[in-house]
Amino acid sequence: MTQFDNREKAFESKYAHDQELAFKVMARRNKLLGLWAAGEMGLSGDAAAEYAKDVVKSDFQEAGDDDVFRKVKADLDAKQVAITDHRLRKEMEDLLVEAKRQVMEELQ
């Protein structure tokens, strides 16, 4: 193998690793968001855990955060929980930071 081939393989490996980390962070954020929303809706225990799983699954509908946002917002509205779009988006941002922290802590 040439030096160029080695560099290319290293870049590909780093890219794959970065993508895996990004996936783990987003899945963790969505789980945390689901648990938060479940609490807002009065769910606890197994019901909250199941709802969090549903939120994680909702992220596979389309690229980006809109599918998760729409699901959680619709569910909160259906339970008549008054959460503004701004507050929900802020919670998503805050939980993303927490998810990154948790995932990076687990890697150490």
- The answer, yes or no, to whether residue 4 has pLDDT greater than 70, is no
Range of the domain at 55: 3-107
CATH number, residue 20? 1.10.790.20
Which of 61 and 48 is assigned the larger pLDDT? 48
Cβ atoms of 34 and 56 within 8 Å: the answer is yes
Q: What is the pLDDT of residues 65-102, one digit of tens each?
A: 999 999 999 999 999 999 999 999 999 999 999 999 99
Cβ atoms of 41 and 88 within 8 Å: the answer is no
Tell me, what DSSP letter sits at residue 84? -
pTM of the predicted structure, to 2 decimals: 0.87
| Residue with tokens 């393989």, as numbered in its chain | 9
| Residue with tokens 């690793």, as numbered in its chain | 17
Tally the domains of the chain: 1
Cβ atoms of 56 and 67 within 8 Å: the answer is no
